[in-house]
């Protein structure tokens, strides 16, 4: 079986994305409080923008039915309320982020297991590595979903380790040119 190499620009992109993932892992490990605060700020800003956008869309968009207009305004108001609740009670946002990140990792683990189990173009050792890392990501995410009291810092450390492993994998893939 021959291994197909992929284009040089994709290989370079893999290396760059891998370096970014590793740098993010280092930042999260070095400054976990900053990582939490950054995520909460991004979530709040996104909700504010969505809320204002939906309200303006509902008020000024021509051709909307009355129901669509009302729905946009209501969704916008709810997004604004949620943004202000997060500002007042950041613990709610923290818990949301724990679940959101854990579920995201769950799907990442499933995708890695699926890729390792089905993509015959990978060498067997790489397929085994994908499956092993995928299973570890899957198990960790399930544990965090079941036991959220493990704490956000623990999840941040786990996420940073996963970023690190993901980054190393991307760099390795880009350097070797093994088609993903």
**pLDDT per position as a tens digit, 34-81:** 877 887 888 889 889 999 999 998 898 888 788 888 998 999 999 999
Distance (Å, rounded) from C-alpha 164 to C-alpha 166?
Answer: 5
Model confidence at 148: pLDDT above 90 = no
Q: Locate the domains of the chain by residue range.
A: 8-176
Give pLDDT, residue 78.
Answer: 93
Gap between the Cα atoms of 99 and 93, Å rounded: 10
d(CA 28, CA 155): 11
DSSP state of 3: P
Beta partners for residue 5, in sequence order: 178
pLDDT at 151: 64
pLDDT category of residue 132 using cuts at 50, 70 and 90: very high
Cβ-based burial of 156 (10 A; exposed 0-12, middle 13-18, buried ≥19) = buried
Report the pLDDT averaged over residues 118-128. 87
Tally of CB atoms within 10 A around 32? 18
Residues in the chain: 180
d(CA 115, CA 131): 8
| Integer angstrom CA distances of residue 88 from 32, 51, 67, 143, 149 | 21, 17, 31, 29, 21
> Which tens digits make up the pLDDT trace of 18-32?
899 899 888 888 887
């Amino acid at each position: 079986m021959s291994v197909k190499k992929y284009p040089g620009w994709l290989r370079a992109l893999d290396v760059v994305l891998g370096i970014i993932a590793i740098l993010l892992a280092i930042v999260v490990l070095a400054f976990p409080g900053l990582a939490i605060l950054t995520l909460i700020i991004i979530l709040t800003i996104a909700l504010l923008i969505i809320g204002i956008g939906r309200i303006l869309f509902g008020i000024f968009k021509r051709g909307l039915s009355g129901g669509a207009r009302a729905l946009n305004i209501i969704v916008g108001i709810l997004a604004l309320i949620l943004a202000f609740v997060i500002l007042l009670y950041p613990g709610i946002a923290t818990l949301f982020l724990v679940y959101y990140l854990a579920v995201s990792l769950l799907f990442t683990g499933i995708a890695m297991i699926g890729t390792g189990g089905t993509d015959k173009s990978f060498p067997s050792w790489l397929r085994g590595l994908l499956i092993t890392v995928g299973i570890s990501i899957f198990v960790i995410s399930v544990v965090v979903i079941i036991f959220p009291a493990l704490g956000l810092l623990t999840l941040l450390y786990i996420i940073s380790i996963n970023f690190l492993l993901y980054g190393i994998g991307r760099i390795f893939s880009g350097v070797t040119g093994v088609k993903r």
